[in-house]
Amino acid sequence: MSIPSQDNAIQSGRLMRVAIYVLLIFFVIYYLLPLWVMVSNSLKTLDEIRGGDMLAPPKDITFEPWRQAWSQTQIGVEATGLKPYFLNSIIMVVPAVTLSTFLGALNGYVLTKWAFRGSNLVFGLMLLACFIPFQIVLIPMARILGMLGLAGTLGGLILVHTVYGLGFTTLFFRNYYAAFPTELVRAAQIDGASFFQVFWRILVPSSGPIFVVTIIWQFTNVWNDFLFGASFSGYESTPITVALNNLVNSSTGVKEYNVHFAGAILAALPTLIVYIVSGRYFVRGLMAGAVKG
Amino acid sequence: MRDRLQEWVPRIVLAPSFVAVLIVVYGFILYTGWLSMTDSRMLPNNEFIGLENYSKLFALKHWNIALTNLAIFGILYIVISSVLGLFLAILLDQQIRAEGFIRTVYLYPMAISFIVTGVAWKWFLDPGIGLENTMHQWGWESFEFNWIKDRNYAIYTIVIAAIWQSSGYVMAMFLAGLRGVDNEIIKAAQVDGASGFLIYRKIIIPLMRPVFLSAFVVLTHLAIKSYDLVVAMTGGGPGRATEMPATFMYSYTFTRNQMGVGASSAIIMLIMIFSIIIPYLYSEIRAGGDKR
């Protein structure tokens, strides 16, 4: 066969194609609408939002809500804006992602290239751990963090995110390394390379894509987490998602919708940027999260 | 000697992760299971009371509301997300210009936090400043949309926001499935004179069965775990109108000082998820093993 196979061989009429594009554009608008509402209303004054049309662009653009959201608005008792919470999230995300990714890589290496009796059971148990409803661990985790002196600290949150991230990171690397030629590993061993030498010199250099997938996956999950943040963070360690929720759902004072929208975008920005820059890898992570085996 | 050591290194490397998971997942499940059979209130205690918390739980109106809401939410969320996802995937699979851009737009909600989604939809659906007010500004004075404030309809606003967040994900799953369909089958059907519509209905969609299954499992497990979105949009209200098992568990455990009941609700959630996930993973791993 010399004819290149098309993605889809079905032909459709001209009218049909117009209808398809109209529908596709309709859904583009549907998905972008909330983002548009957030952006446009974060640039309006409160009076304009109250008096007007939420879908309209701002009449007089003001950046005041952004300044408020970042550094001035009252969250909890203090008027600090979201800045300190944004920093908390960064301090939490970096080590949690690094640790869980690195451990996942080692685990995946062991489970595929050094399989031992029972390693499938080990993998099965780690895989199942990805899907538990975290409500099941809240009470004992709160106790353990208390005993370790980590209750209400960023250290505690880092620990929690690292251990509950291990299931997915191990899964990602295990599936990736399963396809990596074992002969290369065996050849290196015959040449006298040790366990760690094989890992660093042979597997890691060819693991670029899966590192990106795993880091993005973990970054998105940890940054967007709310449940652990709400359960285990304290006054000094509140992550941004929890702070944003406190800002929006606090019952005191005037509802500053424009500040809420600016704050919501601030909270969404890091993961959104990562997604736009490397969406391909993000999707790969999602797919790996859905289709196992 | 060196060989023996080499043999043990991999296990030693794996051990910390595995032990950690054993403790923080399986150990904690057992501990929560134990607490669910004790008379724990504000703090855990070890006074065994059998299954009393479970009978208390299922007698609670609050819990039954949460289960009903989960059923309404879950069914609508799963069905609509799947249908919409498949529909969008089919549309996108027609050699569309700017497909990459459109796909990116459909999928971006998956990258943002449920709290952000909740804030956006909470105010957009708020009758005072959102959609209803906007329609009034546009001259449609009689337009009414106050579901988010209405006990009978608030749960549907959660469905709307949740579908917005995850339907792109389902689309991506189906698109990957559609791209995997062998074109020879389609060509053969065309030679036999089948229309495009018929080919989809009779050949392609039935081939998507594994994707339907994956989507079902992923969406069900997301539905049972839904917590953030509810907290951000309605906080479980108005009244208890949008209470779900996850919000129930949290409030009974941490604010109402009924830890035993809270633990038993967590166990029920775990059973719901495991009864779907375990058979699924089992069949996936077996199918994966057969392929190799």
In Å, how far is B198's CA from the nearest CA of chain A? 11
Residues 206-225 of B with CB under 8 A from A: 214-215, 217-218, 221, 224-225
For residue B25, the chain A residue with the least C-alpha distance is A129
For residue B141, the domain's CATH number is 1.10.3720.10
Q: pLDDT digits over A187-220, tens only?
A: 998 898 888 999 999 999 999 889 999 999 999 9
Q: pLDDT digits over B64-114, tens only?
A: 999 999 999 999 999 999 999 999 999 998 888 888 899 999 999 999 999
Rounded Cα distance, B5 and B269, in Å? 43
Q: Are A214 and A173 spatial neighbours (Cβ–Cβ below 8 Å)?
A: yes
Q: Could you tell me the two tokens for B20?
A: 């950690």
Is the preceding peptide bond at B238 cis, omega within 30 degrees of 0? yes
Helix, coil or strand: residue B37: coil
Cβ of B159: how many Cβ atoms within 10 Å?
18
Helix, coil or strand: residue A194: coil
Q: Please tell me the predicted confidence (pLDDT) of residue A264.
A: 94
In Å, how far is B177's CA from the nearest CA of chain A? 11
Q: Please tell me the predicted confidence (pLDDT) of residue A237.
A: 92
Q: Are B174 and A250 spatial neighbours (Cβ–Cβ below 8 Å)?
A: no
Cβ of B184: how many Cβ atoms within 10 Å?
11
Cβ of B240: how many Cβ atoms within 10 Å?
16
Residues 174-193 of B with CB under 8 A from A: 176, 178-179, 183, 186-187, 190
Mutation to test the A interface, candidates B32, B35, B113, most A Cβ within 10 Å: B113
Mean pLDDT over all residues of chain B? Answer: 89
Mutation to test the A interface, candidates B5, B25, B116, B217, most A Cβ within 10 Å: B116
Q: Does B137 touch chain A (CB under 8 A)?
A: yes
| Entry field: residues in chain A | 293
Please state the ipTM of this predicted complex: 0.89
What contacts B156, CB < 8 A, 6 or more positions away? Answer: B72, B76, B147
Which whole number is the average pLDDT over B125-132? 85
Q: Could you tell me the two tokens for A69?
A: 């959201």
Helix, coil or strand: residue A152: strand
Q: List, in sequence order, the alpha helices (H) in B93-191.
A: 99-107, 114-124, 131-137, 154-179, 183-191
Q: Closest to B133 (Cβ–Cβ): which among A54, A132, A141?
A: A54
Q: Closest to B228 (Cβ–Cβ): which among A167, A226, A293?
A: A226
Please report how many Cα atoms fall inside a 13 Å half-sphere around the Cα of residue B89, on the Cβ side: 26
Among A63, A8, A4, A10, residue whose Cα is nearest residue A39: A63
Q: Are A282 and A219 spatial neighbours (Cβ–Cβ below 8 Å)?
A: no
Instruction: Check A137 against B28: CB less than 8 A apart.
Output: yes
Q: List, for chain A, all residue ranges whose pLDDT scores fall below the cut of 50.
A: 1-7, 9, 291-293
Q: Does B265 touch chain A (CB under 8 A)?
A: yes
Of B44 and B62, the structure prediction assigns the larger pLDDT to B62
H and E: helices and strands count for chain A: 13, 0
Q: Are A149 and B289 spatial neighbours (Cβ–Cβ below 8 Å)?
A: no
The count of domains in chain B is 1
Q: Please tell me the predicted confidence (pLDDT) of residue B288.
A: 62
CATH 1.10.3720.10 domain span(s) along chain A:
83-290
Q: Is the pLDDT of residue B274 over 90?
A: yes
Q: Could you tell me the two tokens for B267?
A: 């166990």
Residues from chain B contacting residue A125 (CB–CB below 8 Å): 18, 21-22, 25-26
Q: Please tell me the predicted confidence (pLDDT) of residue B3.
A: 66
What contacts A1, CB < 8 A, 6 or more positions away? Answer: none
Q: Tell me the sheet residues that pair with A78.
A: A75
Instruction: Check B267 against A268: CB less than 8 A apart.
Output: no
**Lowest-confidence segment of A14-23, A283-292, B243-252, B274-283 by average pLDDT:** A283-292
Asked whether the whole model's pTM tops 0.80, one would answer yes
> Tokens 């498949």 correspond to what residue?
B86
Rounded Cα distance, B48 and B34, in Å? 8
Rounded Cα distance, B25 and B18, in Å? 10
Using CA atoms of A269, A238, A42, A35 in order, give the dihedral in degrees to the nearest 10.
40
Residues 242-261 of B with CB under 8 A from A: 245-246, 249-250, 253-254, 259
- In chain A, the DSSP E strands lie at none
Determine, yes or no, domain membership for B195: yes
What are residue A156's phi and psi, to 5 degrees? -60, -45
Q: Please tell me the predicted confidence (pLDDT) of residue A281.
A: 82
Q: Please tell me the predicted confidence (pLDDT) of residue B2.
A: 57
Rounded Cα distance, B103 and B88, in Å? 9
Please report how many Cα atoms fall inside a 13 Å half-sphere around the Cα of residue B150, on the Cβ side: 10
> Tokens 């998602």 correspond to what residue?
A241
Residues 26-85 of A with CB under 8 A from B: 27-28, 30-35, 37-38, 41, 49-50, 52-55
Rounded Cα distance, B35 and B27, in Å? 12
Amino acid at B47: E
Q: Is the pLDDT of residue B120 over 60?
A: yes
Residues from chain A contacting residue B183 (CB–CB below 8 Å): 5-6, 8-9
What contacts A72, CB < 8 A, 6 or more positions away? Answer: A79, A80, A81
What contacts B217, CB < 8 A, 6 or more positions away? Answer: A290, B276, B277, B280
Mutation to test the A interface, candidates B23, B115, B178, B204, most A Cβ within 10 Å: B115
- The CA distances from residue A150 to A143, A155, A181, B19, in Å, are 10, 6, 42, 20
For residue B167, the chain A residue with the least C-alpha distance is A31
| Entry field: residues in chain B | 292
- The separation between the first and the last C-alpha atoms of chain B, rounded to the nearest angstrom, is 35
Among A95, A224, A171, A217, residue whose Cα is nearest residue B21: A171
Q: Are A28 and B99 spatial neighbours (Cβ–Cβ below 8 Å)?
A: no
Determine, yes or no, domain membership for B98: yes
What are residue B48's phi and psi, to 5 degrees? -70, 130
Determine, yes or no, domain membership for B9: no
Q: Please tell me the predicted confidence (pLDDT) of residue B80.
A: 97
Residues from chain A contacting residue B31 (CB–CB below 8 Å): 139-140
Please report how many Cα atoms fall inside a 13 Å half-sphere around the Cα of residue A214, on the Cβ side: 29
For residue B219, the chain A residue with the least C-alpha distance is A290
Q: Could you tell me the two tokens for A101?
A: 């990714």
Residues from chain B contacting residue A166 (CB–CB below 8 Å): 17, 20-21
Q: pLDDT digits over B148-198, tens only?
A: 888 889 999 999 999 999 999 999 999 989 988 888 888 888 888 878 788
Q: Is the pLDDT of residue B252 over 70?
A: yes
CATH code: domain A83-290 is: 1.10.3720.10
Owning domain of residue B170: 56-291
For residue A53, the chain B residue with the least C-alpha distance is B134
